[in-house]
């Protein structure tokens, strides 16, 4: 599969990045940890533009996630099960995504976009739970961008050693989660301070 993906990306460029990342977010088990670093490597060689790769990867994620979300929200249970079989979504994967989404709601969409495995399957339970579409798309866009940027930059920076990113992905993941958590804490702190009365 790795060789097939790399050959496809080399032949199709930006369109290939968009398509493969859309499929990945539509519950098709394609590894973004391979797609984006290799695309970043191609950008480092000058075959593609860095920000073009990031844009195609991010918006591909949004499209694919929206497809899975729509199946979950508007499809019957039979349609959902057929979609799961078509995309090779196992019951274990679906249960993992459902557990992650339960009790977290919007925050689950934001954070899950930066977590391996969960990010691929989180859209379906979001649709089933009828999460509003606009927040879903917005959180998907915001959550997808740092993941796509991080992997693309790593591939561009590492050059011929780009494949090493697949072995270090957890370190990058936890680093990204830490940054998101810090951003969330700062945002909540600002809101809290603004809500205090002037004499407090």
Give me the pLDDT at residue 60, please. Answer: 96
Nearest to 22 by CA among 52, 55, 49, 58: 58
Range of the domain at 98: 1-160
The pLDDT of residue 171:
55
Residues of the chain with confidence (pLDDT) below 70: 88-106, 116-117, 161-200
* The model's pTM: 0.73
How many structural domains compose the chain? 1
CB 56 within 8 A of CB 97: no
Please provide the DSSP assignment of the chain as one string. -HHHHHHHHHHHTHHHHHHHHHHHHTT----HHHHHHHHHHHHHHTSS-HHHHHHHHHHHHHHHHHHHHHHHHHS-HHHHHHHHHHTT--HHHHHHHHHHHTTTTHHHHHHHTTSTTHHHHTHHHHHHTT--HHHHHHHHHHHHHHHHHHHHHHHHHHGGGGGGGGGSHHHHHHHHHHHHHHHHHHHHHHHHHHHS-TT-
Q: Which two tokens stand for residue 195?
A: 């809500």
Residue 169, in any domain of the structure: no
* Per-residue confidence (pLDDT) for residue 2, from 0 to 100: 77
pLDDT tens per residue across span 116-166: 667 777 788 788 878 888 988 998 998 899 889 988 998 888 777 666 666
Does 179 reside within a domain?
no
């Amino acid at each position: 599969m790795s060789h097939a993906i790399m050959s496809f990306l080399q032949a199709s460029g930006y369109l290939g990045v968009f398509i493969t990342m859309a499929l990945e977010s539509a519950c098709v088990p394609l590894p973004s940890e391979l797609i984006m670093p290799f695309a970043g490597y191609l950008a480092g060689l000058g075959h593609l533009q860095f920000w073009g790769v990031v844009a195609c990867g991010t918006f591909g994620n949004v499209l694919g996630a929206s497809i899975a979300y729509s199946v979950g929200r508007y499809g019957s249970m039979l349609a959902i099960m057929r979609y799961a079989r078509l995309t090779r979504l196992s019951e274990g994967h679906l249960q993992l995504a459902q557990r992650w989404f339960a009790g977290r709601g919007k925050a689950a969409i934001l954070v899950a976009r930066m977590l391996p495995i969960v990010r691929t399957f989180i859209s379906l339970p979001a649709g089933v739970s009828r999460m509003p579409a606009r927040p879903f798309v917005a959180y998907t866009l915001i959550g997808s961008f740092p993941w796509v940027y991080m992997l693309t930059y790593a591939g561009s920076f590492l050059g011929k050693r780009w494949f090493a990113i697949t072995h270090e992905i957890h370190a990058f993941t936890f680093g990204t989660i830490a940054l998101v958590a810090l951003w969330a804490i700062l945002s909540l702190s600002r809101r809290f301070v603004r809500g205090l009365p002037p004499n407090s």
